[in-house]
Amino acid sequence: MSTIESIIRLRGVEKAFGPKEVLRGIDLDVDTGESLVILGGSGSGKSVLLKHMIRLLRPDTGTVEVDGVDLATLSDRQITNFRRRFGMSFQEGALFDSMTVYENVAFPLRRSTKMSRSEIDARVAECLDMVDLEQAGHKLPSELSGGMRRRVGFARSIALEPKILLFDEPTTGLDPVLTAIIDQVIISLRKQLGSTTVTITHDLNSAFRIADRLAMLHGGQIIEIGPPNAFRASTNPFVQQFLAGSAEGPLHDG
């Protein structure tokens, strides 16, 4: 996909928390319109990497560019506006418990736009329709299943029509059927919006369903990246152990 312009570009990104080195010289390109899935074990730094893409974290060294803009050059006000290019869906949906589904999805529209009530109503309905929850606007998060809460989180993340969607472990804790439903919603949203998507997960079935390319993060570095067939055929022993879900191998050596 080298002929397609990269929308996200990381070069030499390093991040440590105290003595713990989490990212150790990350070079990564996310191509416009693609679905990139980042795999890795627990504590491998997947969420840390994702947060650098939206400047919730700043690298100790290295650069992060989005749409050709170095995020380090933006003021706090500028980065707030710049983040409207992103839709971020956190684990468990991260919904406001005291707000209805409608109010949760309307929240970014009320905060970041001057849309009228009728315009907000129409946009919320459109977003809920995209995730097949058009009848759930009056409900509270506590009345929803885990999968439904995730989908409300998706609806809120697309309210401002972002160019880039970031999904943080979107299927954690869901059974296989709900996981497959969430995967189909992610695929559908990408097609309908024409968005670039970056998803972090440790769920291999989900990863291979939604990915154009997969990247594996281990030891603070991207150790393998490529389309699904090439990724499966990797000769890297760390990748093969991860794919096999085996206790035996280099991932736990030492």
Q: What confidence tens digit (pLDDT) does each residue in 217-251 have?
A: 999 999 999 999 999 999 999 999 999 887 666 76
Encode pLDDT of 165-209 as tens digits: 999 988 888 889 889 989 998 999 898 889 999 999 988 999 999
- Among 241, 221, 94, which residue's Cα sits nearest to residue 170? 94
- Tell me the pLDDT tens digit for each residue of 15-28: 999 999 999 999 99
What pLDDT is attached to residue 3?
41
Give dist(CA 26, CA 151) in Å, integer: 31
At residue 1, the pLDDT reads: 37
- Beta-carbon contacts of 63 under 8 Å, excluding residues fewer than 6 positions away, are 9, 10, 11, 12, 13, 70, 72
Please state, for a pLDDT cut of 70, what percent of the chain lies above it: 94
Write out the two tokens for 153: 């989180």
The residues, any chain, with a CB within 8 Å of residue 86's CB and separated by 6 or more, are 53, 54, 162, 163, 164, 165, 166
